[in-house]
Amino acid sequence: MATKLWEKSTQVNAKIEAFTVGSDRELDVFLAKYDVLGSMAHIRMLQSVGLLQPEELKFLLAGLKEIYELSQNGEFLIESGVEDVHSQVELMLTRKLGDMGKKIHSGRSRNDQILLDLKLFARAEIEKTVESVTGLFDVLISQSNRYKDILLPGYTHLQVAMPSSFGLWFGAYAESLADDLQLLLSAWKITNRNPLGSAAGYGSSFPLNRQLTTELLGFDSMNYNVVYAQMGRGKMERTVANALASVAATVSKLAFDACLFTSQNFAFIRLPDEFTTGSSIMPHKKNPDVFELTRAKCNKLQSLPQQIMLITNNLPSGYFRDLQIIKEVFIPAFGELTDCLEMTAMMMAQVEVNTKILDDSRYDYLFSVEEVNRLTLSGVPFRDAYKQVGIEIEAGNFNPNKKINHTHQGSIGNLCNNEICEYKNNILKQFSFEKVKIAESELLK
């Protein structure tokens, strides 16, 4: 059985160990490559301040690169009896290099190691999420432009209200995603700050060069105050979770619309048969299960910030084991959201639109406001025009003029999709993804 990094002469009770380790061995596998990158930066810094010899650095970097390759290939495992990813990496180095492997922990604590690992993991996953959000955005804008002249009913209180269009419907969700990208950018900026060197939350008497590790890992800056760096555990995850929840809220609402609009009572859109599922008893059924599952998954993701908040609620400054539990809800969230985004993009790209919806007389009253506005423009006071049209509707004499002319920004006739794309592109430019890629590539040379 492997020895704990903190173990002295007393061996911990087996049940206590199982309870305190929890799911770390399974979840920490996702963090392995980031733990190695952090260690690479840390030992380069240690050598620069004289705590490692150049020859030691050479051997340690070579050993870490081997472990990195294992993590990239899915071959990295945390052994039974080893608590976490940090312990496993150090154990593997020590087996290979002897006491030299033990030197990588100088000036570090597992506290700032896990802070760093989670930040490196989160910023990589944020980049993937941004890519998936952008993919769905592009599909929605394309469909908005394609169907910009096809009208459909707009609703308030789920009652027929005013004319809308597929251009507006698709485009509305695209712009919502652009705002979600703004929140992801804020989460990225808070995530992309270096906690390494804060150790257990109170710094170190070693002459650490925290600016060097900040540059080596491609961070925008460091978390300067070592106590605050530790306080960032949970705060970073909650901030990122809020951004993920915002994306999930957009996708959930879109999924609900799609479920509604594919039903026979609406029949506004139709999914290809291969995108639907059937019933074991009703041979005619074509169910939008993907959208239903997407709605449920995204609604679950919207609870993530609250889960993290309740785990961390009322904790004072300093490290507490409570924080370990956050990983259980935080790490899987990215994959769940990405799956939903990719499935929604695929469905939205293939959806078939009903181009004749408003031929149905049940939607005639959509045009009541258009008639009120037409009378007002001809000189009738608005309140009188409203009353006149209302009386016609009550008497059953309302005959709609279905030609509409909306010209203001963001309306049926002026979608502003180019402006929405520009807004999105300006947000994307502010992510420093390329800087991070260059830094990580340099570390691995």
Q: What is the mean pLDDT of each run of 10 residues along the chain (445 residues)?
A: 55 70 81 97 98 97 97 93 91 96 95 97 98 98 98 96 97 98 98 97 97 98 97 96 98 97 94 84 88 96 97 91 93 97 96 96 95 95 96 95 94 97 98 97 94
Q: How is residue 353 annotated by DSSP?
A: E
Cα R_g (the chain), whole angstroms: 28
**C-alpha span between 419 and 364 (Å, rounded):** 32
Q: Find tokens 């899915």 and name the residue.
A: 74
**C-alpha span between 336 and 252 (Å, rounded):** 13
pLDDT at 360: 94
The residues facing 151 across adjacent strands are 165
Q: Find tokens 């290939």 and name the residue.
A: 73
Yes or no: say if 301 and 258 are a contact pair by the CB < 8 Å rule.
no
**3-class state of residue 269 by DSSP:** strand
pLDDT at 139: 98
pLDDT at 20: 66
- Token pair in block for residue 68: 């990195």
Q: How do beta strands 151-156 and 159-165 pair?
A: antiparallel
Alpha helix (H) ranges present in 302-325? 304-312
Q: Which domains does the chain possess? A: 14-106 (1.10.275.10), 111-148+163-359+416-443 (1.20.200.10), 360-414 (no CATH)
Yes or no: say if 246 and 176 are a contact pair by the CB < 8 Å rule.
no
pLDDT at 24: 72
**C-alpha span between 440 and 262 (Å, rounded):** 46
pLDDT at 25: 78
pLDDT at 5: 55
Q: Find tokens 């190695």 and name the residue.
A: 36
pLDDT at 280: 81
CB-hemisphere CA count at 13 Å for 296?
5
